[in-house]
Amino acid sequence: MNNQDEQRLEECYCPAQKALSILGGKWTLSIIRELSSGTKRFGQLQKSLKGISPKTLSARLQELEKQAIVTKEIYLEVPPRVEYSLTTKGESLKKILLDLVKWGTENLRSED
């Protein structure tokens, strides 16, 4: 960590706070995890994420699209096929999330 980074860190964690508020939404990490193994259709996501309602899945995907973490491709077939993938930005999150998985595994108390 260089001095400029340290200074930025001390000034404001706001972008981190915003990232946490997006990523901390129920199901959001699970959606990113599902898409990290490749493109998925809406129905496939719903099937993998047992218990998620179509309304919630749709809202979470829209939020992730808005932040350009996820991209949606619509194929004009009958019936139309809609596929979701991680963008490059989304892919760049994986490293940080893995660091957080590691940190959490090593440092958080499981009984709580």
Sign of the CA dihedral running 38, 74, 66, 30: negative
3-state DSSP assignment of residue 40: strand
> Judged by CB, which is closer to a copy of itself: 66, or 81?
66
| Nearest distance from C-beta of residue 102 to a copy of itself, angstroms | 8
> Judged by CB, which is closer to a copy of itself: 19, or 46?
19
Binding residues (CB under 8 A) for a copy of itself: these are 1, 5, 8-10, 12-24, 29-30, 32-33, 36-37, 66-69, 89, 92-105, 107-109, 112
| Start-to-end CA span in the chain (Å) | 32
> Judged by CB, which is closer to a copy of itself: 81, or 99?
99
| Nearest distance from C-beta of residue 53 to a copy of itself, angstroms | 19
CA-based nearest residue to 32, from 74, 1, 60: 60
CB 73 within 8 A of CB 66: no
Please state, as a whole number, how many other Cβ atoms lie within 10 Å of the Cβ of residue 93: 18
d(Cα 106, Cα 87) in Å, to the nearest integer?
29
| Nearest distance from C-beta of residue 30 to a copy of itself, angstroms | 7
> Judged by CB, which is closer to a copy of itself: 47, or 102?
102
| Nearest distance from C-beta of residue 77 to a copy of itself, angstroms | 29
